Amino acid sequence: MVVGFGALAAALVIGLQMATAMISPDSISQTYDNVFHLNAVRWAMETRDASPLNLGALTGISAYPAGWHGLVAIICELSGSTIPVAVNATNLAIGAVVWPLGCLYMVQSVAGHRISVAIFSFIFAAGFSTFPMLMIDWGVLYPNLLSISVLPAALGLAFTAMGLGHHYRPNSLVAWLSLGVVVAGVALAHPSTFMAFLAFSVPAIVAVYYLNVRGSWPPRSPSNRRRVVVLSLALLAGFVGLTILWGYLRPPADAATWGVVETPPQAIGELLFNAPLGRPTLGVLSLCLAVGLIRLWVDKSRRWLIGMYWVGALFFFLAAGFNAEPRWFVTGVWYFDSYRLAALLPVVTIGPSVIGAVYLEDILRRRLAKIPDSVPARYGRIAKSMTSRRAFAMLAVPALAVIVLVAQLGPVSFAVERAHWQYKNSEHSGLLSPDERRLLARLPGIVESGATIAGLPSSGTSLAYALSDRAVIQPHILTTHGSDVDVINAGLKDAATFPSVCESVRKLNVRYVLDFGTRTVTGTLAGYGGVMDLEPNESLKLIDSEGPSARLFRVTACWE
């Protein structure tokens, strides 16, 4: 019952954080990557295919992780909601339900099933400033939100399957099959998180190797020698395979351009105080983490958890503050992006932190158990009523409340405010202003089905596909689109003068063009002069507008 209440409380807290950032159910993130994510959901619904290959076809690449988009498409169709509402509802469920429950499973697999383990797991899961909030702020990185939320559950299953779990261990076949299903889901949601799963599992694998070899050491008998050789070769083969996969499963070099964002000492300091990327410090969590790491080292049996933490910390340090090799090889899987790796830190932090918090709780219990014996005789009646259990409860409840408040009012509030600005709908929004959204809402009644719309994609015009269900020539800012799209982007407003433009217009069935001004999420882009600063002329006819900068033109030069 306590665990259920804790799960509900964590869901409410995280849900409130995310809902506050999102502002309203139909808000959209006014960020660069959201053009693709919203249009990819529409594409999956339209084609009835949410496979990675099909999503890649939308923008002219070989494949794209499709798990999140497929999930949103299903929810959108089953509920009948709009795409923005389905996106926000799905993200709320992922962040508020999947994430804390996954954290609970992983932490219980290494720390046991005490009630306090569950309580601290939920408190810390709701108190990080870099996850889940960062994934609806930076990018936005919705697929990473899904994959990282599932990652703790995958790691917990891996620890259990390898025999490192605490107490309960299911049938070996069941454990490995369950692990396979969950890891496949992580990979489908985003391959980079699958690579994080492999990297975070390495210390546990080394621990299993050590435990098995230790049982056969010294290898005097032939069977023991064979066992040691086989295990050593398997471990070596695994490391070689991981190294090869690490160099292969990564984005193209020209797409991975993120540089360091701080100095090495600053990155180390942020790791020590759980304040990555300049966020406010998490003092209580940092104390529990330090105690937990020390406790794990002294305990010896779970030192591999320290290794997992150091792997995650090293990844962030290299991406954020180390501008030399091996940064390029190690962090290239994540585009060298410190934000993506900061979002992974809670996964490796929460286990040792909960262990540290529980250890501090045990110390407090032992101290409180001595209270009645130390009270003077004249306070005997009070002493008898002040049992150690009651005294612990009286101190524990306010202490837990303080932990939650410190986490929420400081670092998490900072993260919520940052994400909130990405969802604000104003005249200065990066993608769509209120006028532009109102015009898009009218498009289905103006633009006939089957017609294609041109426009400057980074100004938000491409969202006519996701929000108005009308085709656009460029569904993403970085679409690999071909020469016809280039011709239209460069010369559409002068199509009456250049017959070659009309050839491309008719080929792509471009009947309309949206002009949302020059405010973009990318800055000025070359090659779009034909769809910017439009005015009615012999090529274009203004047929609808909203406010000073949202206008819809019909292409007349090539069709009339």
Establish if 443 belongs to a structural domain: yes
Question: Using 50, 70 and 90 to split pLDDT, how confident is the model at 163?
Answer: confident
Degrees, nearest 5: CA angle 513-517-518: 120
Nearest to 345 by CA among 285, 424, 262, 416: 285
Are 355 and 439 contained in the same domain? no
Average pLDDT over residues 436-451: 95
What is the domain range of residue 163? 2-215+250-359
Element spanning 472, H or E? strand 471-472
pLDDT tens track for 229-288? 888 899 999 999 999 999 988 887 777 778 899 999 999 999 999 999 999 999 889 999
pLDDT tens track for 15-62? 999 999 999 999 999 999 999 999 999 999 999 999 999 998 888 788
Taking the CA atoms of residue 104, residue 397, residue 279 and residue 195 in that order, the dihedral angle to the nearest 10 degrees is -10
pLDDT for 106: 96
Are 475 and 346 contained in the same domain? no
Helix (H, G, I), strand (E, B) or coil at 282: coil
Establish if 99 belongs to a structural domain: yes
Establish if 377 belongs to a structural domain: no
Is the pLDDT higher at 371 or at 354?
A: 354
Domain boundary among 342, 359, 376: 359
Question: Using 50, 70 and 90 to split pLDDT, how confident is the model at 516?
Answer: very high
- Lowest average pLDDT, out of 79-93, 139-153, 230-244, 364-378, goes to 364-378
Kindly report the backbone phi and psi dihedral angles of residue 455, in degrees, each rounded to the nearest multiple of 5, phi listed first: 160, 170
Mean pLDDT, the chain, rounded, equals 89
Are 355 and 504 contained in the same domain? no
Establish if 531 belongs to a structural domain: yes
Question: Using 50, 70 and 90 to split pLDDT, how confident is the model at 349?
Answer: very high
Question: Using 50, 70 and 90 to split pLDDT, how confident is the model at 376?
Answer: low
pLDDT for 430: 87
pLDDT for 165: 78
Domain boundary among 359, 385, 410: 359
Are 447 and 341 contained in the same domain? no
Is the pLDDT higher at 376 or at 347?
A: 347
pLDDT for 525: 74
Are 12 and 130 contained in the same domain? yes
Are 466 and 346 contained in the same domain? no
Establish if 98 belongs to a structural domain: yes
Number of domains in the chain: 2
Helix (H, G, I), strand (E, B) or coil at 190: coil
- Give dist(CA 184, CA 154) in Å, integer: 10
pLDDT for 428: 87
Are 351 and 439 contained in the same domain? no
pLDDT over 90 (residue 527): no
pLDDT over 70 (residue 125): yes
Are 92 and 191 contained in the same domain? yes
pLDDT over 60 (residue 467): yes
pLDDT for 407: 72
Question: Using 50, 70 and 90 to split pLDDT, how confident is the model at 182?
Answer: very high
Domain boundary among 330, 359, 388: 359
pLDDT over 60 (residue 101): yes
Element spanning 90, H or E? helix 83-93
Establish if 391 belongs to a structural domain: no
Are 313 and 460 contained in the same domain? no
pLDDT for 386: 55
Helix (H, G, I), strand (E, B) or coil at 24: coil
Question: Using 50, 70 and 90 to split pLDDT, how confident is the model at 81?
Answer: very high
pLDDT for 299: 87
pLDDT tens track for 390-405? 666 667 767 776 776 6
Establish if 290 belongs to a structural domain: yes
pLDDT over 70 (residue 377): no
Establish if 429 belongs to a structural domain: no
Average pLDDT over residues 493-506: 90
Average pLDDT over residues 306-322: 96
Element spanning 551, H or E? strand 550-555
Are 345 and 455 contained in the same domain? no
Q: How many helices (H) and strands (E) are present in the chain, helices listed first?
A: 25, 5
